[in-house]
Amino acid sequence: MTDPSHIRNFSIIAHIDHGKSTLSDRILEMTGTIAERDMQAQLLDTMDIERERGITIKSQAVRVSYQADDGEEYQFNLIDTPGHVDFTYEVSRSLAACEGAVLVVDATQGVEAQTVANAMMAMNANLEIIPLINKIDLPSADPERVRAEIEDALAIPADDAVLASGKTGVGVHDLLEAVVYNIPAPTGDANAPLRALIFDSYFDPYRGVVALVRIVDGSMRKGQRLRLMASGKDILAEEVGARHPVEEPLPELGVGEVGYLVTGLKDLVHVKVGDTITLAEGGVDNPLPGYREAKPMVYTGLFPIESDQYEPLKEALEKLSLNDPALLWEPEKSHALGFGFRVGFLGLLHMEVVKERLEREFNLDLLATAPSVEYHVFKQGGEMMSLHSPQEMPDPGEIEHIEEPYLKAKILIPPDYVGAVMDLTVARRGTFVTMNYLSQNTVEMLWEIPLSELIMDYFDKLKSNTKGYASLDYDFAGYKPSQLVKLDILLSGKPIDALSFIVHKDKAYDRGRVLTEKLKEIIPRQMFEVPIQAAIGGRVLARETVKAKRKDVLAKCYGGDISRKRKLLEKQKQGKKRMKAIGNVEVPQEAFMAILKVDD
């Protein structure tokens, strides 16, 4: 147990790709926590997908010993947080476990949307912020401009900003000293009953659920009976300890310290990020503030291509949920696609990551339908139903009105692109709120935009319309009434439930027309003509036709041609496996995502 005056708990926060994980790597290396030969890039990112995509999805905590220039030894707890906007809540809980934050800003990119958002969150959590200008080794680095931006845009004094390079290690020593001197030691009552914050948790196949915790008051000992206050569950502290990042069991975690707790629970559902742990007997009644349930924002149908993969898919989702309480799912039946699941995600990145893990780690061939949001449908008579899938939409006659989720979006761009962002966002039904010049080079635009529009390829469009300069951050704003209709897509005259989607009335015609054209390109010619129609209720808005295939034969088939023919038929067979037979129409997977690629 370390005296709290020699403990420093801090996070590193940054916009995505500003070099946070590399900087963490360097800190571990320079404090001797990890020998250089054991070093692996992005050490704290443990999932393959995290390393490949260069992003952090789960939070991490590492304890580091630092021999400071004053001759004293300090315990640093470094908490690495997710950098993506989908995981904002996890970031906020990680910050709540700290007294300070290192705000990393790329010396070539300057302040971006999540820099602002994360800095705001750190300030709201009353953290001491140490600005750090990273990547100063790059030729295009402009630390003075970035220093001015930090002061102008964030109102954080940046005279003493640390100039560093995670890549070369320059400035990392300065950073470590700044942590000792600028970040306050934890305060907390060592003699009070235990209060500990869960800021992350994961499932270990051998030991069950492990929670990452910050001791706020009191202490946590191995063998104690503990209570998870939000879920009301009592557990036994099977093991407590610190991560370096290799786990070191300890008899006890003292006040102000950060470490892990092996709960022995088999189900992550009870160990919720943001929950407070106290003693089962003689514990406190007042939990730490700020707990909230993680709530999915985006829903999609996941269906196995081969129907015999339904059970394996279910098992895979169960396994992933063990480690990802934000992942919600329930069975869904589609006339077109058979049995599958409606799955809720925090955002599009979360969805992509989960789908990729299901396909890669569980070897499943999946078909995902276009993502949708949660609509609130108010029926005649006042009853409200939450709609996660267009298929559940009641008859128009039963509907009084529909509300859809809106976001407050914050977009940071150079002033030259204000027009481009206006055009794009207005076309996506965005409502302009206000605009501020954060500095000469950075404009902050605030919008209200329906979430359903944002998930339609908005971010990619925003990036391409601003030559990659725009950065985006958003927050849930609430539900608002909207003129929404369900657009059906019919193949050969039959509505295909998995292709239907909900759209604003004014956009239905354009979307329907473009989508039918797109589907005509995607759906290969079949043995018969396939009419594609877009319709609302019984009214057809657009129609295209995939002409019937008249010939596909390769005529020659003599001695050696037969082996070649067999190869070709084998390939044809494999190709069909990547398609879904709907009635007698073979539909390729990308058809179900085509709606996302519809340009305005």
Tokens matching residue 429: 């039904």
**487, HSE (Cβ side, Cα atoms, 13 Å):** 27
Q: Are 248 and 61 in contact (CB under 8 A)?
A: no
Candidate segments 7-15, 256-264, 407-415, 552-560, binder of another protein by CB under 8 A: 552-560
For the range 49-55, what are the long-range contacts, defined as Cβ-Cβ under 8 Å and sequence gap of 24 or more?
49/353, 49/356, 49/357, 49/360, 53/353, 54/17, 54/21, 55/16, 55/82, 55/83, 55/84, 55/349
- Pick between residue 460 and residue 570 the one whose CB is nearest to another protein: 570
- Pick between residue 36 and residue 552 the one whose CB is nearest to another protein: 552
- Pick between residue 282 and residue 559 the one whose CB is nearest to another protein: 559
Q: In angstroms, give the least distance from the CB of 574 to another protein.
A: 11
Candidate segments 64-72, 364-372, 425-433, 561-569, binder of another protein by CB under 8 A: 561-569
17 assigned binding-site residue = yes
Tokens matching residue 439: 């500095």
- Pick between residue 206 and residue 558 the one whose CB is nearest to another protein: 558
565 contributes a contact to another protein by CB under 8 A:
yes
563 contributes a contact to another protein by CB under 8 A:
yes
**With CB under 8 A, what is the number of residues at the site for another protein?**
22
Q: Are 387 and 456 in contact (CB under 8 A)?
A: no
- The one-letter code for the residue type at 130 is I
Query: Helix or strand or coil: residue 259?
Result: strand
Q: How far is C-alpha 490 from the chain's CA centre?
A: 33
551 contributes a contact to another protein by CB under 8 A:
yes
Residues 443-502 that bind another protein (CB under 8 A): none
497 assigned binding-site residue = no
466 assigned binding-site residue = no
Q: In angstroms, give the least distance from the CB of 306 to another protein.
A: 14
18 assigned binding-site residue = yes
Tokens matching residue 428: 């996506």
When binding is defined by CB under 8 A, the residue of 173, 292, 480, 566 that contacts another protein is 566
- Pick between residue 181 and residue 528 the one whose CB is nearest to another protein: 528
Tokens matching residue 548: 């019937």
135 assigned binding-site residue = yes
- Pick between residue 173 and residue 566 the one whose CB is nearest to another protein: 566
> Which of the 8 DSSP states describes residue 385?
E
| Per-residue mark of binding to another protein, 511-540 (x: CB under 8 A) | ----------------x-------------
- Pick between residue 192 and residue 527 the one whose CB is nearest to another protein: 527
Residues 6+ apart with CB under 8 A from 336: 496, 497, 498, 499, 580, 582
Q: How far is C-alpha 324 from the chain's CA centre?
A: 11
Q: How far apart are CA 351 and CA 299, in angstroms?
A: 9
Q: How far apart are CA 479 and CA 440, in angstroms?
A: 35
581 contributes a contact to another protein by CB under 8 A:
no
| Per-residue mark of binding to another protein, 191-210 (x: CB under 8 A) | --------------------
Whole-Å CA distances, 362 to 153, 327, 524, 540: 45, 17, 29, 41
| Per-residue mark of binding to another protein, 21-60 (x: CB under 8 A) | ----------------------------------------
Whole-Å CA distances, 459 to 300, 313, 361, 473, 552: 18, 29, 28, 10, 41
Candidate segments 40-48, 459-467, 480-488, 564-572, binder of another protein by CB under 8 A: 564-572
Q: In angstroms, give the least distance from the CB of 589 to another protein.
A: 20
563 assigned binding-site residue = no
When binding is defined by CB under 8 A, the residue of 556, 578, 587, 596 that contacts another protein is 556
134 assigned binding-site residue = yes
573 contributes a contact to another protein by CB under 8 A:
yes
Q: How far is C-alpha 318 from the chain's CA centre?
A: 19
Question: In 186-294, where do the E strands start and end?
Answer: 195-204, 208-217, 220-221, 225-228, 233-236, 239-243, 247-250, 252-253, 258-262, 276-279
Q: In angstroms, give the least distance from the CB of 581 to another protein.
A: 12
**Cis status of the peptide bond prior to 245, with omega within 30 of 0:** yes
Candidate segments 70-78, 301-309, 329-337, 565-573, binder of another protein by CB under 8 A: 565-573
365 assigned binding-site residue = no
308 contributes a contact to another protein by CB under 8 A:
no
Candidate segments 132-140, 176-184, 500-508, 543-551, binder of another protein by CB under 8 A: 543-551
CA dihedral 393, 396, 399, 405 (to 10 degrees): 50
Q: Are 179 and 102 in contact (CB under 8 A)?
A: yes
- Pick between residue 480 and residue 564 the one whose CB is nearest to another protein: 564
Candidate segments 149-157, 293-301, 322-330, 560-568, binder of another protein by CB under 8 A: 560-568
Q: In angstroms, give the least distance from the CB of 363 to another protein.
A: 22
- Pick between residue 494 and residue 504 the one whose CB is nearest to another protein: 494
Sequence ranges of the binding site: 17-22, 134-137
Sequence ranges of the binding site for GTP: 17-22, 134-137
Please report, as ranges, the residues that interact with another protein according to CB under 8 A: 527, 549-560, 562-563, 565-566, 568-570, 572-573
